[in-house]
Structure 1
Amino acid sequence: MSENNPEDEARVTSTPERRVPLARGLSAKLLLLTVVFGLLAEILIFLPTVASYRVTWLKERLSTAAAVSIALVQGDTQSLSQTAQNDVLMAIGAKAIAVRDGGVARLLAVAEMPPQVDEHIDVDHLGLVEEMTGALDTLLFGGNRMLRIFGPVGASPEEFELIMPDYQLRAAMLGYSRTVALLSLLIAVFTAALVYVALDRVMVRPMRTMTRSMLAFSEAPDDQSRIIRPSMRADEIGIAERELAQMQERLQKMLAEQKHLADLGLAVSKINHDMRNILASAQLMSDRLQQVKDPTVQAYAPRLVRTLDRAVSYSEGVLAYGRTQEAPPSRRRVRLRQLVEDVHSLLDLESGIEFEDAVPPGFEVDADAEQLFRVLTNLTRNAVQAMAGDTESAVVRRLTVAAERQGSVGRILVTDTGPGLPAKARENLFTAFRGAARSGGTGLGLAIAHELVRAHGGALELVESRGGRTTFAISIPDQPARLEPAPRGLRRPA
């Protein structure tokens, strides 16, 4: 029985779900947060509202007491029986009513004078903080306290006082609080529903559409119908939809190109496998040709042998491509003029195309001879193919290879007098299958040359390209010198 790998189990359990349940989706979270924030807003409004209700309730009781006091002052308070006073005070809910005029207080009606007063409230000089703390204190701890309420009423110069218990005030505040709480909950739910519907249509649905599009595209990236259809919105979501559509289109093209390259690589590998066998047979025949005493054969045989060796090496490199990277350059000092002559000997120059080797005699470059040969072969062959289309005998068709040294950098210039590169080729100059300068070309030559030059730490660049002159420049820096420490036995004593 095979044992389960704990890492595989952890990886499976940690994989995020591709379908989000409705209860954990953005819509449910949005609805919950809107209700909570709405209730928090109502709670912040609730305390000032209840405080204002408390002050209004007290002022109403004080106004009623003032009206009763005026009637008592105008009448004969001594003739008012205790029963009548109790009825008046009961209607107000007070224990005593008094009026203060010119600093002199006069008790107008009293039912039962309490032994002490727990809180004194001046309704005309209450601040917002005092109102809220007093309301909260009454709601939480009130119900058995005695209050003294005083203050002016209207334009009357007298100040009226009212002594009353707070249980009626607390009962009224509790009833008002329940009403406010119920209304707050209804307002919060209603507001949450409106906000939810608005945000769901404006934000959540487009986000859900983009999420589904990404999931569907990841399942079948080669399906054109799974690319999101962006809306015409001008906000951030509209920009995100258009960018996602463009990204999916680019990714689809990239995957198609990679598949094309993979298929092409497989076909090339098969062809090179058979080509290598054919070239091996050609090598055997070239070895026999070297034994022929004919002077003409002896003159061309070495070149033929070198050409076949290079062809075999290229075939083996193509077979190895995909398993390994391009082999690192084996750099040596190379006489560039002789290498250019070898390139010239392999070019199929049509009648009328001139080749000029302008490399100074003795010019050396620090490079891998075989890789630099491939670079020059690709560049010069492209130049010859570009000039082959000009059939006018008066048109100058010349290919020039020159070289110069700039400090520790060897610079090789390949110039032709062809028609120049088209704009599309210049945009994707060193990209395989996209930087072809002629119809039917693959662009592989420049891509290979660019890769080989970069492996040397150098650069391949298009200096200029116009009708009548196109120049590529190869810059290869010399290898830095390595200073190894001298053996201890050879060091000079201090």
Structure 2
Amino acid sequence: MSIDTLTGRFAALTLLFVALAELFVLIPAVSNFRTDYLQTRLEKAQIASLALLAAPEDESITAELESELLANAGVYNVVLRRDDVRQLVLSSPLPGPVAATHDLRQRSTLRSALAALRQLADRRDEVIRVIGAPVNHAGQLIEITLSTGPLRHAMVEYGLRVLIGSAVLIALTAALLNLAAQRLILKPIRRVIRHMASYSAAPEDARLIIKPAARITELREAESALASMQTTLTQALKQKERLAGLGQAVAKISHDLRNILTTSQIFADRLEDSADPAVRRAAPKLVNSISRAVNLCETTLAFGKAEEPPPTLSRFDLRGLADDITEAELLLLDRAAGPPLVDFVTDISPNLVIRADRDQLHRVLSNLIRNARQAIEASGRPGTIEIAAAETDHDWQIRVGDSGPGLPQKARDFLFQPFTSTTRKGGSGLGLVIAADLVRGHGGRLELLRSDGNGTEFCITLPRGSLGENLADG
């Protein structure tokens, strides 16, 4: 039985506490034995002295008889006080001076226990005086002298007998407690462990969910909590499995649909050269619709990937990246019918160099700027999109703001949840989700700073250290 197991520790603690309890019992027991031993010597000495006093006054006892009476009583001298007269009844030579006096008439539990412990610790054979009250009121007091050697020997023998009995009791108690713990506590715990192991092997199997059956309240509560957790996890895994299957199907459909739409886009571009004025006017709208459909397919495919690749960091000019994105957006504006409604303002120092994955940051900024442009266009009023950046000792901060109508409350509540944050008809609601994932991959964060009637502003924060130092430069 290892001490590192619950069984081993429970058994060790049981032995320890039972041994401590027996120790607290042993000390008073030995103390009482010492008091009884001395009281017995007083009684024997009283009987011996009364036998002598009962003899006729004209007859004296022999020295041999006196020695035999003293030996039977286990004492050296016996003194009786009767009628206020102190009388030496029996006597013999003392082997040494009297070392201490003990008055049994003044009994104290603590004092008796300390005297017993000192008696056990002192190996010297000394002479002590013991004073007590005679039995049956046969005098005022009785006083004896005796040797401590036999007393200590008797105390040691008695203590050993108590210890042996206690050891048997300790072993029996520990065995019974361990058996009870095995049956009442450890067996239900092992049952829970077996259920957890079998469930972890197949968490999608609802048959492996534990059924609370423990009789102990705490263990039953633990089993109920485990069953609730397993039920929730199993349902979540099944839902994720269904979503994964649906995602694969959508990804396949989006892939094939994107190829079809790309071909359609090529042919739609040629309609702008048609001789029919109505066809030429409708061609840009058709191209834009197909472009949005292609973008939706590409976005869905990107989101359907298991995970984005880790960023490959490199140092590049942020102003140049922002200019590339705004130029691409301006080309789309130029192709749209009617005058452009959006104006771009870039407030980035030409000397600002950041360290990030250029392609991933291009996707992040493109999503934010495209959302801002589409929001302004949807409002039908001219607006401005501003891209600004700053750096501190710890990070880079890139802000993308617009003067559009702002996001509705529903969109703000589900801002970074897929398929729920879109406010545009035909949108997928994946742009911000993908952007936030890409920024988190850099160890940064994407936050909505404000969104009201005056427009919307997002902030990208990228750390300058830690994560970048652990990734290879491109």
TM-score by length of structure 2 reads 0.67
Which moves more between the two structures, 444-453 or 258-267?
A: 444-453
Change beyond 3 A, Cα 1:35–1:218: same
Q: Is the 8 A contact 1:366 1:478 kept in 2?
A: no
Q: Distance in 2 between matches of 1:166 and 1:414?
A: 95
Q: Distance in 1 between matches of 2:236 and 2:212?
A: 21
Deviation at 1:158, TM superposition (A): 1.5
Task: Please tell me whether residue 109 in structure 1 is matched to residue 109 in structure 2.
Answer: no
SS in structure 1 of the partner of residue 448 of structure 2: coil
Q: Distance in 2 between matches of 1:133 and 1:244?
A: 55
Structure 1 match to 2:10 = 30
Deviation at 1:118, TM superposition (A): 2.2
Instruction: Give structure 2 stretches of 5+ with no counterpart.
Output: 310-359, 388-402, 421-425, 437-445, 462-474
Structure 1 counterpart of 2:257, one-letter code: M
Deviation at 1:234, TM superposition (A): 6.4
Change beyond 3 A, Cα 1:90–1:449: same
SS in structure 1 of the partner of residue 19 of structure 2: helix
Q: Is the 8 A contact 2:449 2:458 kept in 1?
A: no
Output aligned runs, 1:85-484, within 5 Å.
Answer: 85-101=66-82, 104-142=85-123, 144-154=125-135, 155-231=137-213, 233=215, 235-321=217-303, 322=305, 323-324=307-308, 327-328=363-364, 329-331=367-369, 334=373, 336=375, 338-339=377-378, 362=381, 410-412=406-408, 448=430, 451=433, 457=448, 477-479=456-458
Deviation at 1:447, TM superposition (A): 6.8
Deviations 1:94-151 (A, max 9, x none): 1111113466432111132333122221112242232222222222324622221112
Q: Distance in 2 between matches of 1:22 and 1:115?
A: 56
Structure 2 counterpart of 1:362, one-letter code: R
Deviations 1:6-62 (A, max 9, x none): xxxxxxxxxxxxxxx877532233223212221121112211111111111111211
Q: Distance in 2 between matches of 1:125 and 1:185?
A: 34
Q: Distance in 1 between matches of 2:455 and 2:211?
A: 49
Aligned residues: 371
Q: Distance in 2 between matches of 1:429 and 1:409?
A: 16
Please give the root-mean-square deviation of Cα atoms over the aligned residues, in Å. 3.9
Structure 2 match to 1:44 = 24
Change beyond 3 A, Cα 1:92–1:127: same
Structure 2 match to 1:72 = 52
Q: Distance in 2 between matches of 1:164 and 1:73?
A: 21
Structure 1 match to 2:39 = 59
Q: Is the 8 A contact 1:69 1:108 kept in 2?
A: yes
Deviation at 1:201, TM superposition (A): 2.4
Instruction: Give structure 1 stretches of 5+ with no counterpart.
Output: 1-20, 340-358, 369-406, 416-427, 436-443, 461-472, 483-494
Change beyond 3 A, Cα 1:456–1:32: closer
Change beyond 3 A, Cα 1:161–1:458: same
Q: Distance in 1 between matches of 2:41 and 2:410?
A: 106
Q: Distance in 2 between matches of 1:241 and 1:199?
A: 18
Deviation at 1:330, TM superposition (A): 2.6
Change beyond 3 A, Cα 1:114–1:250: same
SS in structure 2 of the partner of residue 229 of structure 1: coil
Q: Distance in 2 between matches of 1:452 and 1:475?
A: 26
Deviation at 1:241, TM superposition (A): 0.5
Q: Is the 8 A contact 2:76 2:91 kept in 1?
A: yes
Q: Distance in 2 between matches of 1:299 and 1:445?
A: 24
Change beyond 3 A, Cα 1:410–1:233: farther
Q: Is the 8 A contact 1:413 1:474 kept in 2?
A: no
Deviation at 1:170, TM superposition (A): 2.0
Q: Distance in 2 between matches of 1:335 and 1:318?
A: 19
Structure 2 counterpart of 1:51, one-letter code: S
Q: Distance in 1 between matches of 2:202 and 2:235?
A: 13
Q: Distance in 1 between matches of 2:149 and 2:166?
A: 25
Deviation at 1:243, TM superposition (A): 0.6
Structure 2 counterpart of 1:83, one-letter code: E
Change beyond 3 A, Cα 1:56–1:447: farther
Deviations 1:252-308 (A, max 9, x none): 222233333333333333332222221110111110111113232223211111111
Structure 1 match to 2:330 = none
SS in structure 1 of the partner of residue 289 of structure 2: helix
Structure 1 match to 2:353 = none
Q: Distance in 2 between matches of 1:80 and 1:255?
A: 105
Deviations 1:196-216 (A, max 9, x none): 232222221111111222222
Q: Distance in 1 between matches of 2:182 and 2:386?
A: 64
Change beyond 3 A, Cα 1:305–1:102: farther
Q: Distance in 2 between matches of 1:412 and 1:254?
A: 30
Q: Distance in 1 between matches of 2:216 and 2:385?
A: 57
Change beyond 3 A, Cα 1:239–1:445: farther
Q: Distance in 2 between matches of 1:447 and 1:474?
A: 21
Change beyond 3 A, Cα 1:31–1:304: same
Structure 1 counterpart of 2:457, one-letter code: D
Q: Distance in 2 between matches of 1:431 and 1:411?
A: 15
SS in structure 1 of the partner of residue 273 of structure 2: coil
Deviation at 1:315, TM superposition (A): 2.0
Q: Is the 8 A contact 2:368 2:432 kept in 1?
A: no
Deviations 1:393-424 (A, max 9, x none): xxxxxxxxxxxxxx998254799xxxxxxxxx
